[in-house]
Amino acid sequence: MSEKIEKSELFNKELTMNMLKKNAKSSVNKLERYELIFLIISVMYAIFLSFALFVNDERLILNESIWACIALFVVAGGWQAFKLILLHKMRFDTCSTIEIMNRVTRYKILTKARLYWGMSLLIPFFAIVMYFQRDIFTPELMVAMAIGGALGAVIGLSAYRKHWKNIDELLSDLKEIKSYEKL
């Protein structure tokens, strides 16, 4: 009888571990998809702006503004690629739970740093673009830019909050896996 109970407990433990690992892998996949989408957006904008630079006759947009935007999207794409590489190192078949937890914690810190550094670097970026384009800014255009910036900030922060929730879910799953491994 006790052997049957032991087998049942072992089966339940394995079943629970598999479920937790599946949830954790799903969270990692969500994070990878998020980073990949923003990598693709960054690359596509950099390519589009490169073509725009090629055909630009500087009537509406100065080349310096386009160069500043290209630089922004190249840096953003590089950052997204770096974070994708970090996510690809989170493999359950080759890493221990503690290693993955450390990598997720590092990823979480880098994600928070991206928010603070990204937002603090956007202000000087927009100041540079506005300086180059100062001759075309009318009050109406400034209002439209402010509305667009506020809408972009709301969308960006809501995406960030959802992304942050996925990171927290992954850490929670990893903590549960770690506690089951001790049993």
The amino acid at 26? S
Look up the domain containing 131 and give its range: 2-182
Mean pLDDT, residues 60-78: 87
- Please tell me whether residue 37 adopts helix, strand or coil conformation: helix
Position 1 scores a pLDDT of 63
Q: How many domains does the chain have?
A: 1
- H helix intervals, 56-138: 63-88, 97-132
Position 71 scores a pLDDT of 92
pLDDT band at residue 43 using 50, 70 and 90 as cut-offs: very high
- Please tell me whether residue 61 adopts helix, strand or coil conformation: coil
pLDDT band at residue 47 using 50, 70 and 90 as cut-offs: very high
Is the per-residue pLDDT at 139 higher than 70? yes
pLDDT band at residue 70 using 50, 70 and 90 as cut-offs: very high
Is the per-residue pLDDT at 137 higher than 80? no
The mean of the pLDDT values for the chain is 85
